[in-house]
Amino acid sequence: MIDTVCLIPARYNSDRFPGKVLEHLHGKPMLQHVIERCAQSAMVDDVVVCTSREPSNFPLLEWLIKNKVKHCAPDIPEDRVLERLAMTSDEHESKYIVRVNGDSPMVLPSLIDRAVIELKQSQTKKATFHTDYVGYKFGDTPSVLTKFAAPEAFTSNVLRLWATINEHVTVAAYAGGYSQWIDLNGKPFITAVDTPEDLAKVSFRMTDSCNLEAST
């Protein structure tokens, strides 16, 4: 049993940018950047890529196996993301889960740390408010609905519940009463990649700053 696992949902087939997770970004596949940044978190015990066995994902599975990347690919439909995350969490017997999407090569380890710390603090007996989910927002807008890729942290118990009723973590978090939101302030900027144009912008930002945390 481990305390906190970081799960990275990823798929090879994308409507707007097929194969984007393996597109090269500063000398390595984009997904590799995500994995490495998540592993830098002081609050994460393990990092696992979550995908599916759909034929369209075979190039991704081949890369994961070839590079000995820890992953989970249950034989369930690709669109049942939360169910796939819940199965992976159960396999690791983890108490807390961090979700970082596979198209987020500039995710900040410090934001992962803060989300997990806030979640754990709310779980203590002394906490005045018990929460099962911690996410980030810009004003009233969850970061996952913007182009800024911020992590989400939640308990394994609520993940199992949400997996039975809803596909999208953020929608489920809004529907439930046990959510906590950290306001990032300011305006979101592009750190998630949905299109080739996004990749070019992220590449420029990496070149310009080298380390996003040092520039914010």
Question: Mind listing the pLDDT tens digit for each residue in 72-85?
Answer: 998 888 778 888 88
3-class DSSP assignment, residue 66: helix
pLDDT of residue 37: 96
H or E element, residue 37 = helix 30-39
Per residue in 109-140, pLDDT tens?
999 999 999 999 988 766 566 788 899 999 88
pLDDT of residue 215: 40
pLDDT of residue 171: 61
Structural domains for the chain: 4-215 (3.90.550.10)
pLDDT of residue 125: 62
pLDDT of residue 177: 56
Dihedral sign from CA coordinates of 143, 144, 149, 153: positive
Give the predicted TM-score (pTM) of the model: 0.90
Q: Which residues of the chain have pLDDT under 50?
A: 211-216
CA-wise closest residue to 80 among 115, 46, 53: 53
Amino acid at 17: F
Contacts of 160 (CB under 8 A, 6+ apart): 86, 89, 90
pLDDT of residue 167: 57
Q: How many CB atoms lie within 10 A of CB 166?
A: 16
pLDDT of residue 213: 46
Instruction: Say if residues 107 and 150 touch (Cβ distance below 8 Å).
Output: yes
Label the pairing between strands 179-183 and 141-142: unpaired
